[in-house]
């Protein structure tokens, strides 16, 4: 039996019948007179949400942060990072309420910034 080069495996008779769940759902919405009404209702609700959502031009959000600067004279940035900055980062990240810890190591020193969760109280 010779195979036809224009057909893939199987024939059209082997293909599944019907549209399936997604196809039937799409067909129902395409032919439904309620589809434009649903579209208009969704757009109206979206516009209402946009207009009624309270917002400020410059909201006052307090993000508590602590910057730690230290000097490590006579060392390269790699030495500062491995000897001082990395251990300090690990120590600071263990504090309760810490969101992020950032650091920059330079020759002769470094800076570590600890950012706490919004609304977290610092100090007594």
How many angstroms separate the CA atoms of 83 and 119, rounded?
A: 32
- What's the token pair of residue 77? 């940035």
Partners of 66 in beta bridges: 114
The model's pLDDT over 46-102, given as tens digits with 9 standing for 90+, comes to 999 999 998 888 778 888 899 999 998 999 999 999 999 999 999 999 998 899 999
- What's the token pair of residue 21? 């769940």
Query: What are the counts of helices (DSSP H) followed by strands (DSSP E) for the chain?
Result: 4, 3
Model confidence at 12: pLDDT above 80: no
Least Cα distance to 104 among 72, 66, 64, 77 occurs for 77
* pLDDT computed for residue 104 by the predictor: 94
Q: Determine contact, residues 102/115, Cβ cutoff 8 Å.
A: yes
Q: Determine contact, residues 71/32, Cβ cutoff 8 Å.
A: no
Q: Give the torsion through C-alpha atoms of 86, 62, 46, 29, to 10 deg.
A: 20
* pLDDT computed for residue 7 by the predictor: 52
* pTM as predicted: 0.52
The model's pLDDT over 82-98, given as tens digits with 9 standing for 90+, comes to 999 999 999 999 998 89
Q: Determine contact, residues 84/72, Cβ cutoff 8 Å.
A: yes
- Determine what percent of the chain is predicted with pLDDT higher than 90: 53
Domain spans of the chain, in order of start: 18-52, 65-116
Helix, coil or strand: residue 106: strand
């Amino acid at each position: 039996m010779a195979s036809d080069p224009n057909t893939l495996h199987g024939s059209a008779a082997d293909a599944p019948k019907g549209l399936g769940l997604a196809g039937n759902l799409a067909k129902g919405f395409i032919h439904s007179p309620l589809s434009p009404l649903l579209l208009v209702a969704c757009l109206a609700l979206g516009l209402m949400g946009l207009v009624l959502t309270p917002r400020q031009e410059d909201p006052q959000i307090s993000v508590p942060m602590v910057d730690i600067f230290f000097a490590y004279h006579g060392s390269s940035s790699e030495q500062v990072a491995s000897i001082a900055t990395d251990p300090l980062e690990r120590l600071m990240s263990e504090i309760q309420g810490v969101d992020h810890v950032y650091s920059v190591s330079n020759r002769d020193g470094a800076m570590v910034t600890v950012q706490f969760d919004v609304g977290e109280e610092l100090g007594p």
